[in-house]
Amino acid sequence: MKQVSETRCFGGRQLRFEHDSEVLNCAMQFSVFLPLRAEKSKVPAVYFLSGLTCTDENFSTKAGAQRVATELGIALIVPDTSPRGDNVADDPDGAYDLGLGAGFYVNATQEPWKNHYQMYDYIVKELPKLVEAELPINDKRAIAGHSMGGHGALVIGLRNSDRYSSISAFSPITNPTQCPWGEKAFSAYLGDDREQWKQYDAVEIIKSKGQTLPIRVDQGLADGFLEEQLKPENLKEAIAEVEGGGTVHLHDGYDHSYYFISSFIEAQLRFHAKYLNA
C-alpha cells in the first residue's frame, strides 16, 4: 500500500493510496480521510461508493464531508468505481455506463469482464482488510453511496448485515433489474439469467430476505434520472412490507449532483454515527 498524497483538512488528514489488488488483478487507488481522533486511537469508518464515471476523488473533493467526519471521529474510505488499467476490459463503444468507471459493485461472471470486475468482493473483503490492517481504523463499518454507488451500498449492506452497522444512499439505483442502467450492466457482467441478477437488486433482496440494518435514503425530486432509472418508490414499498424499517427522504428542487450530496451529507454522517458509536 503506497501513499500517493496527503493534505491537512479540518484538523484531519486527507490521504490517497495505491495498491495492487489481488481480487481485481490490477492496480487500484482509493482515498481516505482520517479525523484528528485517529492520531490517538482507532476509529470507525464510513465506506462511500461513488457513481457512474466517478473515481475515488469526486466525493473527497466535492461532498464537503470532512468537517463533520472529524467532529464525529469517523474515517471516510472512498474506493474507485471499477478496476483500472490498459488490460482491463471496457465498453467497446466507450459508453459511460459500462466498463471503466461503471463496475456496478458486482462480481462479474461473463467474459471479458470476470477477470477484473469483482467489485463486490473488493469492497466487502479486500479493501476493509487492507485499511484495517494498515491504518488506525477499527472494524466498525457503515456503508453509503451515490447513484450506482447507492445501489452498491444498499446491496452490500443488505447482504452483509454482520459487517456493517447502517446503510445510507443518495439517489440510489434501487431496483436495477427493472431499469435501463441495470439491465445493460447486468446483461454484460452476469449474463442472461435474470434470476442471478436479483442478488444485486436491493428491492429484490428486501422482498426475499427482509432487512435488519437501519437505512436512510435521500432523493431529490428534480433528479432527471428519477423515474426511469432510480425508482425510489419501489424501495419505499419494499421497506414498508418488512419489519426492519428505513426512511426514504424526498427533497423538492434537488437534482442528482454533488450540490445535493453536499446539502445532506451531514445528516447522513450523523445518522451513521448513532450506530457506529452505539
Catalytic residues, by residue number, are: 147, 223, 256
Residue 133 has a CB neighbour count (10 Å cut-off) of 9
Plot region of 231 (φ>0 → left; ψ -120 to 50 → alpha; else → beta): left
- How many secondary structure helices (H) and strands (E) does the chain include? 10, 9
For 23, 62, 117, the CA distances from 268, given in Å and listed in that order, are 30, 15, 29
Q: From the CB of residue 175, how many other CB atoms can be counted at a distance below 10 Å?
A: 22
What are 66's three cell numbers?
470532512
Please name the residue that has the C-alpha cell 471521529: 73
Alpha carbon dihedral 180, 30, 255, 267, in 10-degree steps, equals 120
